[in-house]
Amino acid sequence: MKKRVIFQLGSNNWQRPGEFAPGSGILHEAHHKMYNRMEDTVCHSVYPSRYNDSDDPTVHIFQLDHDVPICESVSPVSSYRFHSMSDEEFLQYLNRLEAFVERKIIEIEEREQADVDAAVAHHTFINALVLGNVNKRRRLNGRTPMKLCCFVHGTALKMYAHELNQDNEEYPLRFLPLMQKMGVFSRFSPYDVCATISNEQSKRFSCTFPNFPKDRILMSPNGYDASIFKPDSRIYFNRGVFLQGVDLPPSPSGNAPDKIDPYCPGYVVHCGKFADWKRQDALLHAARMYEEELGLGTLIIGTGPDEDIKRLHRLAYDELGLQKTFFLGPKSQTEIAKINAIADVGVYPSRNEPFGLVLIEAMACGTPVIGCASGGPADFVDDSVGGLIPECEGLELSNRIAEAVKSSIQMEWKRKRGPEAAKVVSENYSTRKQCLELIESLFNEPELQPTAPLASTRTLRASHA
């Protein structure tokens, strides 16, 4: 049986010792592993890293001498934005990446003795541009063109929104005009499918690129790794012992607790990079209320730029005087799963969360969740698995979080809603289901006719000026 060959190009590093990954890097790796578990499929992947290397012949590292460039909000390992690059630096990065990808695809085809059938670009920015150009040259050189899919993660769309709205001087109108001029997501887009992770993201993508054919947009909710994230009643009922073994990273505040209180009557978990739209500050203000009233503990997983770490620690300990709120730092997927399992409720107050994989992972561990009624969580969180807070800001948001948390403890959500949360995600949000749907959308559709060619990279300097 001829194997289908899939190539993926990621924007972010995968999670390895000493280099934690953002959600899109974790998802890319999960898809890579799932495709390679399928009997009729082999997958090769490229992703950028300053620190990773690979001894896996299907994983190819685009080596960097700087942090991984990002579109908008910070990742666990980088705050180096594309907008901070000069035009010359950006063009050099683009050309180097394009040459690397083209060379790797040729090497992959020689290794597999088969053409690459499909290529997936993660994010709607530089990777989508690169694979479009590579595919155009394949046509011109008489090689079999690849089916193209763009996986629409949220941060590139946030970057374009900043450019359009002119709401942040750090994002001048620069890259969206470039993508429009290059025709990446035009009426004549080279992309067969664009997969979005929520209804909200589908709307944002269509608003950003209104000429992209609507019948090529696939809603593809993120999948989670069911081998890692699952209920564990044993660890839940022995969580005091587990928490005694969890070390806290150094805190920039002199008032921070030096160890976790292992015997709080209940625990709230939050996992996420430290960014303004994640609204950890609202969670901390809420923690003051439910900590004082019910003695609940709060376990915060994640990291961010040094200034955000300092700001949140000082808010928690110097300003609010919290004693049962603990910053755990970045953790591996296995560690996150255990912390999710021992928690009574997960709280994720993000503003317009693109999807909310961290909520899905908590639910998979049998932990009900509280989110905001904006973005992806509105697609899958209801009263059977947790609750949604109406979109608001400031003190009102903190008050609503605190009331929801107190209700979750008093009404025993963990016991009553946790099993349903685990059931919902196991039936609807597996990585295997997501990968199979992507394959079906690429290969079971009528053959698309060649469209207008994507502009050549050689026109970039003129179009980008």
Task: Identify the three-state secondary structure at position 217.
Answer: strand
Average pLDDT over residues 59-80: 87
Q: Which residues pair with 153 in a beta bridge?
A: none
Binning pLDDT at 50, 70 and 90, where does residue 242 land? very high
Query: What does the alpha-carbon distance between residue 322 and residue 364 come to, in Å, rounded to a whole number?
Result: 29
Q: What is the third-level CATH fold of 4-223+430-464? A: Rossmann fold (3.40.50)
pLDDT for residue 445 is more than 70: no
DSSP assignment string, 115-166: ---EEEEESSSHHHHHHHHHHHHHHHTTPPPPEEEEEE-HHHHHHHHHHHHT
Ranking 158-172, 380-394, 440-454 by mean pLDDT, the lowest is 440-454
Domain boundaries, the chain: 4-223+430-464, 233-427
State in words which class domain 233-427 has: alpha beta
- Residue 336 above 50 pLDDT? yes
Backbone angles phi, psi at 351, to 5 degrees: -90, 120
| Better-predicted residue by pLDDT, 276 or 99 | 99
pLDDT at 456: 40
pLDDT at 186: 96
Q: Are the C-beta atoms of residues 211 and 190 closer than 8 Å to each other?
A: no
pTM of this prediction exceeds 0.95: no
pLDDT for 381-403, tens place per residue?
999 999 999 999 999 999 999 99
Would 4-223+430-464 and 233-427 be classified into the same CATH topology? yes
Does residue 380 come out as left (phi exceeding 0), alpha (psi in the -120 to 50 range) or beta? alpha
Q: How large is the greatest C-alpha to C-alpha distance in the chain, in angstroms?
A: 70
Among the listed residues 242, 302, 246, 292, the one whose alpha carbon sits nearest the alpha carbon of residue 270: 302
Instruction: Give the pLDDT band (50/70/90) at residue 463.
Output: very low
Distance between CA atoms of residues 68 and 62, nearest Å:
10
Helix (H, G, I), strand (E, B) or coil at 48: strand
Query: What pLDDT, on a 0 to 100 scale, did the predictor assign at position 447?
Result: 42
Task: Give me the pLDDT at residue 81, please.
Answer: 94
